[in-house]
A and B are shown apart, each in its own frame.
Chain A
């Protein structure tokens, strides 16, 4: 039973592994290049554990930014995670001792896997979170050890994460059978690509999608009230 859960988690995180190993390695390489000691780079992948956030941290470090600036910039960059938590409040209920870790480890990819699991259990969700974290950390260690020297030509392997998001979108569509969230995502996603600078793109799209869903909720409520009268 237990080892079966590990196997399921391993299989689910495989696409993330293909993405996190090279991206983690890229972080390790960049960190060493800007002069961060290897043990600090490794520690960052354990205790910060945010892809874009860690690259930002190395840039800010190299630029000699102040701590307040670092705090504000990091929160701006990661504020989309607030919306992830909103949609997992229910699912994480009763997760007990695993819950703090699962909240800490909530990256884009882990969120995508956890919200797509039909047979979700806390044990499985915890293992998925832990394995993704492990792939990211291992990738960082590989980057630190190997440096810019190439082991094999892995150019393009990060596409695995794009493929994962495509597959999960199709799975969500199959389950929900409603166009609404996809129409909202198309509008806010394409709008953000056209209108917003790269660093605000995800927050802008996810934030405005949440607002539109809120408006839709209000609208539904009013309609139900009218029908009740």
Chain B
């Protein structure tokens, strides 16, 4: 098994992934109470969360190639569903409700593809 190139590749990939996850815990295990680490622990998660939202919406294109509104999965459905999620969440503050309804509306819009 160790000489099989497929398993070698899988093991290298697994180790490389784990290395990126474990590095700070190994290198900085004694610095957990350092004010800079606490600063990052406080401000980095909210920043990462918004970056992940921007990343998820990066392919948004409002207009299709023929200058019509884009009703595809990277067009209006993406923004309408995102606004629905945000609106529902600000209104009811029920995470599951916002996510389930938002996803259902997105699936409906892209599957029925609105304008057809």
- What residues make up the interface of A, taking CB atoms closer than 8 Å to B? 11, 14-15, 18, 36-37, 40, 43-44, 47-50, 53-54, 57, 60-61, 67, 70-71, 74-75, 78-93, 99, 103-104, 106, 108, 111-112, 115-116, 153-157, 159-173, 176, 180-182, 184-186, 188-190, 192-193, 198, 201-202, 205-206, 209-210, 213-214, 216-217, 220
Q: B86 to chain A: which residues have CB within 8 Å? A: 166, 170
Taking A155-B111, A160-B103 as contacts, is the C-beta distance between A189 and B50 under 8 angstroms?
A: yes
Q: B69 at interface (Cβ–Cβ under 8 A)?
A: no
- With beta carbons under 8 angstroms apart, the residue of B25, B42, B56, B73 that contacts A156 is B73
List 9 A-B residue pairs with CB atoms under 8 Å apart, sorted by A's residue number.
Answer: A15-B95, A48-B14, A74-B16, A87-B48, A166-B53, A169-B53, A181-B44, A214-B40, A216-B39
User: B37's closest neighbor in chain A, by CB?
Assistant: A89
Chain A hits for B116, CB < 8 A: none
Q: Which residues of B contact A186 (CB under 8 A)?
A: 50, 54
Q: Is the CB of A70 within 8 A of B9?
A: yes
| Cα of A214 to Cα of B44 in the assembled complex, Å | 10
Residue in A50, A99, A189, A216 whose CB lies within 8 Å of B51: A189
Distance of A160 Cα from B97 Cα, bound (Å) = 11
B64, CB-defined interface residue at 8 Å: no
Bound Cα distance A205, B56 (Å): 13
Q: Is the CB of A162 within 8 A of B20?
A: no
Q: Per-residue CB proximity of B74-116 to A under 8 Å, as 1/0?
A: 0001100110011001100001101100110011011100000
- Cross-chain contact A83 with B44 (CB below 8 angstroms): yes
- What 1/0 mask marks residues of chain B from 44 to 71 whose CB sits below 8 Å from any chain A CB? 1111111111111110000000000000
Contact B107 A169, beta carbon cutoff 8 Å: no
Known: A57-B9, A104-B18, A220-B39. 17 other contacts (CB 8 A): A47-B14, A67-B9, A74-B13, A75-B16, A78-B17, A82-B23, A86-B37, A89-B28, A115-B48, A116-B45, A156-B111, A167-B89, A182-B46, A182-B47, A185-B54, A205-B51, A206-B51
Q: Which residues of the partner chain B approach A54 to less than 8 Å between Cβ atoms? A: 13
Judging by beta carbons under 8 Å apart, are B50 and A48 in contact?
no
Tally of A-B Cβ pairs under 8 angstroms: 259
Contact B50 A44 (CB under 8 A): no
Chain A residues near B2: list those with CB within 8 A: none
Point out the residue from B41, B46, B107 that lies within 8 Å of A172, measured CB to CB: B46
Give Cα A91 to B55, complex, Å. 26
Chain A contacts of B102 at CB under 8 A? 159, 163, 166
Q: Within the complex, which residue of B11, B22, B98 is in contact with A167, where a contact is CB–CB below 8 Å?
A: B98
Across the interface, which residues of A come within 8 angstroms of B36, CB to CB? 214, 217
Instruction: Decide if B12 touches A201 in the complex (CB within 8 Å).
Output: no
